[in-house]
Homo-oligomer: A and B are copies of this chain.
């Protein structure tokens, strides 16, 4: 990931959030980023791909922060609230989620399919979390609850006015989550559900796990890009993580505790997005059964 490419992505993101995807022309991006058309098409094959890169960066970051939250302490509804907040807060005042939907309903089949898979994996994540938080007995109803919670949340974010403060946002999420609890109880009482457990899982197009060796390499390389004052710490962290990664039986809980402060070393740095991408790969490995 070129630093220049990241610069273009940031410019495009700014414009998309400000004026919407359809209302942002490639020429606008070129002007904003100060590059030529040839360069743009060197980085992306189309305007769509540029957008997909932005979404991928965003979803990757969200999943890293969510895993970090889960690794922080005992699980519970409050953790779920914070995990959902992560996604919403990260979307800079809820503008990215509108971007999502604009694309989801756009005419372009390529974009639609991609966004649909993003949406489905989000639903699958929520279904899984609901059973973790509220107990196995709700598993048959978790898919329905996830779908409904998603719909409710979407409406509250879109149509209720003035989500300025972060407290207002969190108030709405808590409200919706309490409603979801009521829905789970109600469905369980009446033993009613429309969807099947695991309905949203689409293992088909889930990308294969990254190679541990490659992730280790990337982390070591990243540590070298740190400024002098944090480079030593970074080297220690990256070194520990990569040796654990390559060892016979990696100690996952240790790694989880180290992954958080290591990633935070890159906060505010130009390659912060890249760091998050790499850490996203690490978390996927940590969550996968063959490493646990």
Q: Which residues of A contact B (CB under 8 A)?
A: 19-23, 98, 101-102, 104-108, 119-120, 123, 147-148, 150-156, 159-160, 171-172, 175-176, 178-179, 182-183, 185-187, 190, 192, 194-195
Shortest distance between the CB of A182 and any CB in chain B (Å): 4
Shortest distance between the CB of A109 and any CB in chain B (Å): 9
Shortest distance between the CB of A13 and any CB in chain B (Å): 16
Are A148 and B152 interface neighbours, CB within 8 A?
Answer: yes
Shortest distance between the CB of A158 and any CB in chain B (Å): 9
Among B20, B154, B195, point to the contact of A151 (Cβ < 8 A): B154
Known interface pairs A179-B186, A183-B182. Does A156 touch B194 (Cβ–Cβ under 8 Å)? Answer: yes
Among B101, B123, B160, B194, point to the contact of A195 (Cβ < 8 A): B160
Instruction: Compute how far the CA of A84 lies from the CA of B14 in the bound complex, rounded to whole angstroms.
Output: 40
Shortest distance between the CB of A82 and any CB in chain B (Å): 20
Shortest distance between the CB of A179 and any CB in chain B (Å): 6
Which B residues lie within 8 Å of A119 (CB)?
A: 159
Are A160 and B105 interface neighbours, CB within 8 A?
Answer: no
Among B98, B123, B186, B194, point to the contact of A171 (Cβ < 8 A): B194
Main secondary structure on A side of the interface with B: helix
Q: Please, which residue of chain B has its CB at the minimum distance from the CB of A99?
A: B105
Instruction: Compute how far the CA of A156 lies from the CA of B182 in the bound complex, rounded to whole angstroms.
Output: 18
Q: Please, which residue of chain B has its CB at the minimum distance from the CB of A147?
A: B155
Are A147 and B159 interface neighbours, CB within 8 A?
Answer: yes
Which B residues lie within 8 Å of A187 (CB)?
A: 179
Among B23, B106, B153, point to the contact of A22 (Cβ < 8 A): B106
Which B residues lie within 8 Å of A148 (CB)?
A: 148, 151-152, 155-156, 176, 179
Among B98, B107, B120, B156, point to the contact of A147 (Cβ < 8 A): B156
Are A120 and B171 interface neighbours, CB within 8 A?
Answer: no
Shortest distance between the CB of A171 and any CB in chain B (Å): 7
Among B21, B98, B105, B178, point to the contact of A192 (Cβ < 8 A): B178
Instruction: Compute how far the CA of A20 lies from the CA of B104 in the bound complex, rounded to whole angstroms.
Output: 13
Q: Please, which residue of chain B has its CB at the minimum distance from the CB of A186?
A: B182
Which B residues lie within 8 Å of A20 (CB)?
A: 107
Q: Jot down 23 A-B pairs with beta carbons below 8 A, ordered by A.
A: A20-B107, A21-B107, A22-B107, A22-B108, A23-B107, A101-B101, A105-B105, A123-B159, A147-B155, A147-B159, A148-B148, A148-B152, A148-B176, A150-B151, A151-B151, A151-B152, A151-B154, A152-B152, A154-B155, A175-B194, A178-B186, A179-B186, A183-B183
